[in-house]
Amino acid sequence: MSSASAIAEPLIPPPPHQLPAAMPNLEQTLLDALPIGVCACDAQGLILRVNRKATELWGRAPRLLDSAQLFCGSFRLESLDGYFIPPDRTPMARTVLHGEATKGAEAIVINPDGKRWVARCDVASLKDAQGHLLGAINCFQDITQEHEMRQALTRQSRTFDLAMVASRMGTWRYTIADNICVYDENAQALYGLSEARFLHDEEGVKAKFHPGDMDLMWSRVKKALDPKGDGRYEVEYRVKQGDGSWRWLSAWGLVEFEGEGAARKPVAIAGASRDLSELKKAGEMQRLLINELNHRVKNTLATVQAITAQTLRSASDLASAREALDRRIIAMAHAHDLLTAKSWVSADLGEIVARALDAFSQARVTIAGEPVELPPKHALALSLTLHELATNATKYGALSGARGHVRVAWKNDKGVLRLDWEESDGPAVAEPRQKGFGSRLLQILIRDLDGTARLEFPASGVCCTITAALPTSPN
């Protein structure tokens, strides 16, 4: 501290014959009155004098002129990082041995009773009139509370910085006088800037902000800068990144005003920005999903309507119509289950065939085919078709007797699906005089899937061959 120079000379005792008898006690009294610790040593590091505050802070009185205790009277000294500082490396020793003046050095002092506290010391060299080093004086004080407050502020600042990074936020301040906005590091990354200062001139703004958002941005700025308003600024816009892409940001802040009444005028806007890109993508995805859901619901309702109409047209009575309609809607529900399991991206054809024939033993059914992922439209249409073929086989075909057999096989030939249904060992069949529901459904399949369907009735059993073009990726 600056008080070191003020008390430097009295600590270098003049020859005894030049001092009044009461003078040494007066020096000590003056030193003991100081609110800071004071310690002086000679050019060899021997401790010459300390004041009362020093002994209170150290928790002990050092031995004066003792070569076993040089430079410092504390019990133990450590750096702020917790490393031991030997006596010959203390701030006092550096000044005496190397002539290094020390100002504002901080260290942890450990007292004999284990108490730990943080000291700040200022060390100045003591020289005679010819400039020869006589020793040094150390003025120090307890700053533990200040140090803890600084650490708390540092932790709080670090927590704030981490929170800003985690939440993809950054801060900025726009000053009206120079038309410059200064961004912190987080905001620089958000805005795709390489430096903190950004000039909001016409050229800079056009290069950085999306043209479709600028009118909205400037209208919000104008509203916020109105001296009669509340000074709140909030807007969403797109900013260009270094690679030419656009990033959605949300910006909000408060205007700093000067003056009162008619003299009130805006001088700056301080605020923060947040990355909205993921949120915007999620919103767009939600919109697409809703549109897709609407599309699928309409398609499903249209299919249900067609099934209902065809069922009622073919039914002989209301009870049989209800039973048939229930079975067909359940078949659709099974297909929906398979599609839902894969987020309506696709369904495995093998699972669709297995579900259509799961009521029959493996001895009665043969299933063969490579893995094929069907898009939703194909999955629903084939589920209904297989259900109708299985129902017909159960009532009139191979699965109506004890010995009949059904074989279902398929393959994907360069993006074209071919599926064969063959019945054998059942009752003799003949081609019906009029088309039933299954035949009409096959016609719908041809129209919807841009494919072909051939239904044949040899005496040995019903045969059905279906082809349909598969999209490159299910959708």
Task: Spell out, as residue ranges, where the chain has pLDDT lower than 50.
Answer: 1-23, 474-475
Q: According to DSSP H, which parts of 357-406 are helical?
A: 376-395
> b/e string for 87-123 if b means 16 or more Cβ within 10 A?
beebbbbbbbbeeeebeebbbbbbeeeeeebbbbbbb
Contacting residues for 293 by C-beta, under 8 A, at least 6 apart: none
Structural domains present in the chain: 3-148 (3.30.450.20), 167-275 (3.30.450.20), 281-469 (3.30.565.10)
In the chain, the amino acid numbered 436 is G
For the question of whether the overall pTM of this predicted structure is more than 0.85, the answer is no
- The pLDDT score that the predictor gives to residue 16 is 43
Q: According to DSSP H, which parts of 257-375 are helical?
A: 277-314, 318-341, 349-356
Q: Which two tokens stand for residue 192?
A: 């795709």
C-alpha distances out from residue 230 to 179, 222, 237, 266, Å: 21, 12, 22, 11
Taking only the tens place, the pLDDT of each residue in 292-322 is 566 566 656 665 665 676 566 666 777 776 7
Residue given tokens 């009752």 in the structure block: 427
Contacting residues for 5 by C-beta, under 8 A, at least 6 apart: 124
- The pLDDT score that the predictor gives to residue 400 is 83
Using alpha carbons, select from 355, 358, 341, 352 the residue that is nearest to residue 374: 352
- The pLDDT score that the predictor gives to residue 17 is 43
Instruction: Give the Cα separation of 366 and 408 in Å (integer).
Output: 6
Q: Which two tokens stand for residue 170?
A: 């950054």
- The pLDDT score that the predictor gives to residue 136 is 92
